[in-house]
């Protein structure tokens, strides 16, 4: 069997969820959208069952998969609903619905619902991507609660620069949100992972931790005690020797400067390892740090084993996980941990420590 695997440590996930709630106080939606950032949404949600106050997903299909898998806790749809059929289903399944643009308000006004709806009004406090402008919030709130269809109405916003501890922009967004919602009743939710860790002023009733649950610190180097959840692993499947001057792989990007022992690893960009990773990104082989050399192919990549004479066919390879941080790989490849984790596919998944 091809040895490419993603090992998901559900104990680490629970540890990170507890840490998020401890940093923030109050309650926390475990954000499990996009298949739990590539970690397996249902497996992750079940591992947090009895512990998570609620979950958050992007859209209703993701929520219905969790309900079908036995998740009874609140589930928030971060993008809300896209049509009336989804609105009816959301009410039936007791899903919590974000409302971020006027068409969603009109949809609620003209639809008779099978059950009272819980909504979260999304305030555009400065990111300018989704949400109502601050001066519209009070009117939207009145329209939603006037006829009794909406049972509970909370207020949320999202930060553009929460992972930059010094960005005045976040303090400004908090002030804008507070002014827009002043004296309106209802729960508040502001903080994603970056704000949970760096912006205590944003901590209110509900946190929305995503990336930190999976152990990738959005504010690297801060040592918050997060544990990596995914280990992307494979094995050395072949070894060859290059003489000085020999090229390696597509485009001959790497050319040997010395006698070089090359290990071939069953892992490529079709599995989610980034093709943009340059030479010398760290790769752990049998627990020791080696370097990627040569361009990443669709199904394979190559590592320098010259200084690891013990390593050979069958040696364990960690592309990221507890020894090589996914943040390090992402930074080298010109992207963020979020994208790398979401992109893992085709490999064999195994979930460990499922029972809490």
Ligand X SMILES: *Cc1c(COP(=O)(O)O)cnc(C)c1O
Query: Which residues contact ligand X (rule: CB under 6 A)?
Result: 31, 33, 78, 158, 192-194, 208-211, 218
Give the DSSP H or E segment for 175.
helix 168-181
Least CB distance from residue 320 to ligand X, whole Å? 17
Based on the residue annotation, tell me whether 250 is a catalytic residue of this protein.
yes
Q: DSSP secondary structure string, 277-302?
A: PPTT-EEEETTEEEEE-S---SS-EE
Kindly tell me which of 209 and 228 has the beta carbon lying closer to ligand X: 209
Residues 6 or more apart whose Cβ sits within 8 Å of residue 179: 134
Catalytic residue among 37, 55, 122, 250: 250
Kindly tell me which of 262 and 326 has the beta carbon lying closer to ligand X: 326
Least CB distance from residue 93 to ligand X, whole Å? 20
Kindly tell me which of 30 and 265 has the beta carbon lying closer to ligand X: 30
Least CB distance from residue 253 to ligand X, whole Å? 33
Kindly tell me which of 169 and 270 has the beta carbon lying closer to ligand X: 169
If 0-12 CB within 10 Å is exposed, 13-18 middle and 19+ buried, where does residue 65 land?
middle
Least CB distance from residue 276 to ligand X, whole Å? 22
Based on the residue annotation, tell me whether 33 is a catalytic residue of this protein.
yes
Kindly tell me which of 23 and 269 has the beta carbon lying closer to ligand X: 23
Least CB distance from residue 79 to ligand X, whole Å? 8
- Separation CA 131–CA 104 (nearest Å): 11
- Separation CA 134–CA 155 (nearest Å): 11
- Separation CA 222–CA 28 (nearest Å): 22
CA distance from start to end of the chain: 30
CB 42 within 8 A of CB 65: yes
User: Within 13 A of 90's CA, how many CA atoms are on the CB side?
Assistant: 33
Least CB distance from residue 209 to ligand X, whole Å? 5
Residue with the closest Cβ to ligand X? 210
Kindly tell me which of 78 and 285 has the beta carbon lying closer to ligand X: 78
Kindly tell me which of 124 and 193 has the beta carbon lying closer to ligand X: 193
Six-digit token string for 289: 């740090």
Catalytic residue among 17, 33, 55, 122: 33
Q: What is the CA radius of gyration of the chain?
A: 23
- Separation CA 280–CA 91 (nearest Å): 52
CB 267 within 8 A of CB 224: no
Least CB distance from residue 208 to ligand X, whole Å? 4
Task: Estimate to the nearest angstrom the gap between the alpha carbon of 142 and the chain centroid.
Answer: 34
DSSP secondary structure letter of residue 316: E
Residue positions annotated with a catalytic role: 33, 250
């Amino acid at each position: 069997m091809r040895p490419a695997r993603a090992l998901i440590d559900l104990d680490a996930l629970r540890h990170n969820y507890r840490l998020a709630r401890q940093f923030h106080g109050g309650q926390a939606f475990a954000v499990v959208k996009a298949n739990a950032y590539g970690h397996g949404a249902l497996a992750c949600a079940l591992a947090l069952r009895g512990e998570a106050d609620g979950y958050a997903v992007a859209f209703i299909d993701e929520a219905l998969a969790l309900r079908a898998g036995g998740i009874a806790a609140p589930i928030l749809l971060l993008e809300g609903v896209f049509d009336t059929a989804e609105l009816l289903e959301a009410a039936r399944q007791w899903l919590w619905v974000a409302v971020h643009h006027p068409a969603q308000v009109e949809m609620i006004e003209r639809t008779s619902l099978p059950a009272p709806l819980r909504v979260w009004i999304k305030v555009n406090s400065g990111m300018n991507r989704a949400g109502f402008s601050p001066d519209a919030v009070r009117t939207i709130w009145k329209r939603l609660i006037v006829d009794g269809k909406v049972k509970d109405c909370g207020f949320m916003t999202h930060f553009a620069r929460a992972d930059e501890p010094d960005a005045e922009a976040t303090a400004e967004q908090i002030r804008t949100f507070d002014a827009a919602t002043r004296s309106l009743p209802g729960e508040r939710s502001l903080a994603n992972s970056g704000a949970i860790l760096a912006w205590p002023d944003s901590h209110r009733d509900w946190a929305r931790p995503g990336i930190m649950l999976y152990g990738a610190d959005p504010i690297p180097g801060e040592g918050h005690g997060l544990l990596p959840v995914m280990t992307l692993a494979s094995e050395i499947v072949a070894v060859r020797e290059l003489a000085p001057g020999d090229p390696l792989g597509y485009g001959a990007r790497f050319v040997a400067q010395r006698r070089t022992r090359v290990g071939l690893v069953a892992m490529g960009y079709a599995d989610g390892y980034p093709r943009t990773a340059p030479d010398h990104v760290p790769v752990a082989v049998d627990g020791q740090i080696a370097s990627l050399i040569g361009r990443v192919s669709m199904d394979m990549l190559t590592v320098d084993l010259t200084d690891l004479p013990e390593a050979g066919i069958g040696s364990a390879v960690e592309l990221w996980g507890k020894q090589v941080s996914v943040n390090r790989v992402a930074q080298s490849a010109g992207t963020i941990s979020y994208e790398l984790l979401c992109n893992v596919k085709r490999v064999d998944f195994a979930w460990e420590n499922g029972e809490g």
